[in-house]
Structure 1
Amino acid sequence: MSLTATAEQTEQHGEPEHVDVLIIGAGISGLGAAHRLREQFPERSLLILESQDSHGGTWWTHRFPGARSDSDLFTYGYRHKPWRGPSVAAGGAIREYLDEVVEEDELADRIRYHHEVTALRWSSDDARWTAEVTRRDTGEQLAITASFLWMCQGYYNHEEPYIPEWPGTERYEGVMVHPQTWPDDLDHTGKRVLIIGSGATAATLVPAMAKTAEHVTMLQRSPSYWFPNPTVHELSTQLEPLDLPPEWTHEILRRAYTVQLDWLATVGKEDPDQLHAFLLDAIMPLLPEGTDIEKHFTPAYRPWQQRIAFVPDGDFFEAMRDGKASVETDKIEEFTATGVRLASGEEIEADIVVTATGFNLSVFGDIPFAVDGEAVDFSQRVTWRGTMISGVPNMAYAFGYFRHSWTLRVDLITDLVTRIQQHMAERGARIVVPELRSEDADMPLLPWSDLDNFNPGYVQRSQDRLFKQGDREPWTHMHEYSHDRAVLPEADLDDGLQYR
């Protein structure tokens, strides 16, 4: 599959620049994919296209106060690069970690920033993809071709966050901001802040803004589950005097956190009442006296049907105990000039309203795809092991976990995709494409996500646009890490994949 044409050679003939592998996105997924390719196929050319002005993905675009990981860094960090530091880190520390990855893997000259892909076209005759690209900094239009395409752009729209429509927002005279588009010059010191939403972003914003705001109110339509995990794992404290090599400490803590997440996922599925009681028992001692736990902290859904909000050292509840933050559970009736009026009739006055209301899922960056001149409707396609899409040749995608750390699956996917590419080389194949087998002719097409299993708002809003899954292997996805880490390394690369 390796092609030897370089950018200089193709430019001399007036042809598009060509690479063996084109990666879309220079975030945690794209950099992980590039590392594995450099390690496994050092002779192959690769290029990463990134629409932002630097790498990091979420950790570059999210600049709101207190932005931090809501997963431990020992499992969120890459398998190949030990994380050094506390298990929960701020966005700046994670960007520094990714900076080191770029430097160590010599990726700087393989990343093109400001390059927004506007269309992707596959030609079976040429056995290659053509990416139509717009330079966001200059407006230049160009094309780049590739033998293999790896979509690592993430799963939500960075440019258009989800903001519900509320009556009267035009009357509000204060500042309204969404965390995805946080202005650099917003000063909340001494201000009354209203944060709408109770997910991971709100769990981060509340304690961060409460440090200097007059008061922060978190308004939620319904309660979420919370878990006050320690910033420093007790094992880390025990291991520190042993002066172990960093990779040893990393692996030990990685396994410890994996066991914890496995337990949460397993109990959440098999005995949700037990996990419900465990999570409430964990926060009760941290709440201010007199808190209405039933109203504000008892969700109507089962644990793990939505992501648990992890709060390091319970800092969210500390802000509540100090009187700097409070929680309201109600629906918004309307916005007023000075804040919002709730369905109960109560009014909350606010100088700043933060709409931490979530995001919109993006299907492969919302980039139009075409295969041999026909537009691809992903809502009618089926996933192959959560890694490739039926009928779409030479294309893999990176999608992590919602319950476990995202990068745990990215590591598994990079292994699987490089195995597929090695398998292609051994067979002398230029094309690999997932195709339903004869026994799959009557297979029901199931939704991308089983809402009984995982049902946050951003998933429910996007089900009709996302690709499907089947009721059997290899056409399923959304498994837990405990399943994938056993199945994906042994996956049959001829089962559901056709080579040409």
Structure 2
Amino acid sequence: MSEHFDVLIIGAGLSGIGAAWRLQRQRPQDTYAILEARDAIGGTWDLFRYPGVRSDSDMFTLSYPFRPWREPEALASGDKIRRYIQDTADEAGITGNIRFGTRVTRADWSSAESRWTVHTASGTTLTCTFLYGCAGYYSYAEGYQPDFAGLGDFTGRLVHPQFWPADLDWAGKRVVVIGSGATAVTLVPSMAADAAHVTMLQRSPTYVTPLPDRDVIADVARRFLPPNAANRVARAKNILLTQGFYQLAKRRPKLVRRALRDVAVHFLKNPGYVDEHFKPSYDPWDQRLCVIPSADLYTSIADGRASVVTDHIDRFVPEGIRLRSGTVIEADVVVSATGLSLLPIGGVELSVDSEPVDVGKSAAYRGLMLSGVPNFAYCIGYVNASWTLRADLSHRYLLKLLDHMERHGYTAATPTTPGDIGRPLLDLSSGYVQRALDKFPRQGNRDPWLVRQNYLRDVVTTPRADVTRDMSFTRRPATVRSTEVVS
């Protein structure tokens, strides 16, 4: 007979550990387990091990609000973030509830039993009343890799950042990093310290913005305030700054474009170079901005240890990469930082009463549930702010829903289907997002089906949101099951 839990959480990364902390604090009577496909806590921060891997959001907002970030760095290394997540789980007694090496393949909802049956890759099954997907949206099995012509002719070594080889030695070697996103701008200065030279090869420029390693306001607050109060000051300041900058970029894109260009010229001292390699054709925040701590990418370029080439790849040749312009960039090591593959709900296949759920044709209810799917939620963070800000709001909303169901004797909560589904859930023009749009649910044109990328609004409205709006509830019957729709 399968083990049964009140709640099963998929994923022991930043989101999953945060969800478990909230759950066991607010609903200690509930039984739960976390199903983690890997053999360690950390999720993305355990998967990615490439040089320099770090946060591109400040740690005062990426950390949990219930466990302040106490390290000096505002932008932390992947290793420190992984340790922070691990310590949070250990201190809260969450680690013992994690089933490591347990990859969920599919989950089937039974209306007759009001429960999910969760199947794992090992062949075991578990059941639960509520299923919460906290596996993020990256495919852990594969990254995006273009089909480069002539790749077999290349005599050097090609690696993908998602699967970084422990034996790779780039000291004194010529390195080419293909890409211009967050991974590329992290790799280039990190590898440039030891390589003979690093070239960042991009098809088109990306907006980058320098941020200091240390947060001056946070450092001052820590001198005069208790740790929790100091963290709240730094957190509030950074939320206001990031949200303000995003709104400014959307309302006054030309102003922000000029400001970002001026910063680049300040560090690189070459307006022509900046216009060629750091002046995108799109507006700021049409794609996510890339953060460079203490301007390390600009410093590497200014020092001559790194350079940028903007061109298209024609093909790989034995000695490196030939561009459409005819130029050949010689390389001993090529890093294909060409993007990630997105995968909703960790690739788990869902069905309701034996009918498969097409996630791509579903509507996103408050950005955390699916239309027509009972007792299921998923966690996705903001695209314009720290992931944890939205994740924590999602956890709190879910617990509010569970409390409501318990008070009223409901066994299931199912978002109804809105009349109109329009915009994609992830509203970015980035290639990795556009390649996967059909895999993710869509937004509607009104609350609670409209997902706004605005934490300042959400932090006020989400805790007060009506959990009964556009939600169908199934009541726990004595003999006959009944359904009540509350709008």
TM-score under structure 2 normalisation?
0.95
How many pairs does the alignment contain? Answer: 473
Correspondence for 1:160:
142
Conserved? CA contact 1:296–1:328, under 8 Å: yes
After the TM superposition, which residues 410-421 of structure 1 pair with which residues of structure 2 at under 5 Å, given as runs?
410-421=391-402
1:24-61: CA deviations, max 9, x gaps? 00000100100000110111111000111101011100
For the pair 1:203 / 2:185, whether they are aligned, the reply is yes
1:62 aligns with 2:44: no
Given the alignment of the two structures, is residue 493 of structure 1 paired with residue 467 of structure 2, yes or no? Answer: yes
* In structure 1, distance between residues paired with 2:118 and 2:156: 43
SS in 1 for 2:307: strand
Amino acid at match of 1:426: R
Following superposition of structure 1 onto structure 2, how do residues 462-473 of structure 1 map, counting pairs within 5 Å? Answer: 462-473=436-447
In the TM superposition, what is the alpha-carbon distance from 1:274 to its structure 2 partner? 1.2
- Spell out, residue by residue over 1:130-183, the C-alpha distance to the aligned partner (whole angstroms, 9 max, x if none): 111124xxxxx2001011000001111011100111211111111111110001
| 1:300 match | 281
C-alpha contact 1:53 1:114 (8 A) present in aligned 2: yes
**Is 1:445–2:405 an aligned residue pair?**
no
Partner of 2:237: 256
1:46 paired residue among 32, 47, 50: 32
Higher deviation after alignment, 269-278 or 281-290: 281-290
Alignment of 1:277-356 (within 5 A): 277-289=258-270, 292-356=273-337
Q: Secondary structure at the match of 1:228?
A: strand
Aligned to 2:485: none
Which of the numbers 87, 95, 112 marks the counterpart of 1:100? 87
The 1-side partners of 2:268 and 2:145 are apart by 29
Deviation of 1:291 after TM superposition, in Å, equals 5.0
Task: Say if 1:173 and 1:337, in contact at 8 Å, map to a contact too.
Answer: yes
Q: Which of 229, 245, 264 is matched with 2:211 structurally?
A: 229
Instruction: For 2:454 and 2:314, locate their aligned partners in 1 and report how far apart those are by CA, in whole Å.
Output: 39
Alpha-carbon offset, residue 280 of structure 1:
1.5
Mean alpha-carbon deviation: is it higher for 333-342 or for 478-487? 478-487
Counterparts of 2:440 and 2:61, CA distance in 1: 27
The 2-side partners of 1:72 and 1:347 are apart by 38
Q: Is the 8 A contact 1:150 1:396 kept in 2?
A: yes
Quick one: which of 131, 138, 151 aligns to 2:118? 131
Find the partner of 1:384 among 365, 373, 387.
Answer: 365
Task: Supply the distance in 2 between the matched residues of 1:336 and 1:204 (Cα, whole angstroms).
Answer: 26
Q: Shift of the alpha carbon at 1:449?
A: 4.2
Q: Following TM superposition, by how much is the alpha carbon of 1:479 offset from its aligned partner in structure 2, in angstroms?
A: 2.3
1:151 counterpart residue number = 133
SS in structure 1 of the partner of residue 143 of structure 2: coil
> Which residue among 82, 103, 109 is the counterpart of 1:116?
103
State the Cα distance separating 1:241 from its structure 2 match: 3.4
Structure 1 residue 357 corresponds to structure 2 residue 309:
no
What is the DSSP-based 3-state SS (H/G/I as helix, E as strand, rest coil) of the residue aligned with 1:247?
helix
Could you tell me how far apart the structure 1 residues matched to 2:457 and 2:148 are?
A: 42
| Map of 1:8 onto structure 2 | none
Question: How far did residue 444 of structure 1 move?
Answer: 2.6
Helix, strand or coil: the match of 1:115?
A: coil
CA contact (8 A) 2:175 2:334 kept: yes
Q: Find the counterpart in structure 2 of residue 7 from structure 1.
A: none
Contact 1:401/1:478, CA 8 A, preserved across alignment: no
Query: Which letter maps to 2:91?
Result: E
Residue 186 of structure 1 corresponds to: 168
Higher strand share: 2
Q: Which moved more, 1:361-370 or 1:328-337?
A: 361-370
- The one-letter amino acid paired with 1:352 is V
Amino acid at match of 1:492: D
Q: Which residue number corresponds to residue 479 of structure 1?
A: 453
Structure 1, unaligned stretches of length 5 or more?
1-14, 136-140
Does residue 1:241 correspond to 2:215, yes or no? no
SS at match of 2:276: helix
For 2:97 and 2:42, the matched residues in 1 are separated by 15
List per-residue Cα deviations over 1:368-415 (Å, max 9, x = no partner). Answer: 111001111112211101010001000011100111000000111111
C-alpha contact 2:265 2:271 (8 A) present in aligned 1? no
Higher mean alpha-carbon deviation, 164-173 vs 151-160, is at: 164-173
Contact 2:384–2:453 (Cα < 8 Å) also in 1: no
CA distance in 2, matches of 1:426, 1:43: 14
Q: Does the 8 A contact of 1:189 with 1:212 survive in 2?
A: yes
Assess if the C-alpha contact under 8 Å between 1:25 and 1:50 holds in 2: yes
* Range moving further from structure 2, 67-76 or 225-234: 225-234
For residues 28 and 167 of structure 2, the distance between their equivalents in structure 1, rounded to whole angstroms, comes to 44
Deviation string 1:91-148 (CA, Å, 9 cap, x unpaired) is 111111111111111011100111111111110111111111124xxxxx20010110
Structure 2 segments unaligned to the other structure (5+ residues): 475-487
The separation in 1 between residues aligned to 2:445 and 2:203, in whole angstroms, is: 34
Which whole-Å CA distance do the structure 2 matches of 1:290 and 1:270 have between them?
25
The one-letter code matched in structure 2 to 1:73 is M
Asked if the contact 2:218–2:233 (Cα under 8 Å) also holds between the matched residues in 1, the reply is no
One-letter amino acid matched to 2:365: W
Give yes or no for contact 2:359–2:440 (8 Å, CA) kept in 1: yes
Greater mean deviation of Cα atoms: 338-347 or 282-291: 282-291
In structure 1, the residue matched to 2:480 is none
1:148 alignment partner, SS class? strand
1: CA distance, partners of 2:244 / 2:259: 12
Identity among equivalent positions (%) equals 41
- CA gap of 1:40–1:450, structure 2 versus 1, over 3 A, is closer
2:407 corresponding residue in structure 1: 426
Q: Secondary structure at the match of 1:298?
A: coil
Letter in 1 for 2:230: T
Contact 2:268 2:298 in 1 (8 A): yes
Task: Give yes or no for contact 2:383–2:426 (8 Å, CA) kept in 1.
Answer: no
- AA matched with 2:453: H
Q: CA deviation at 1:283?
A: 2.0
Q: What residue identity is the alignment partner of 1:397? A: Y
Return the alpha-carbon distance in structure 2 between the equivalents of residues 175 and 483 of structure 1. Answer: 48
| Residues 1:457 and 2:431 aligned together | yes
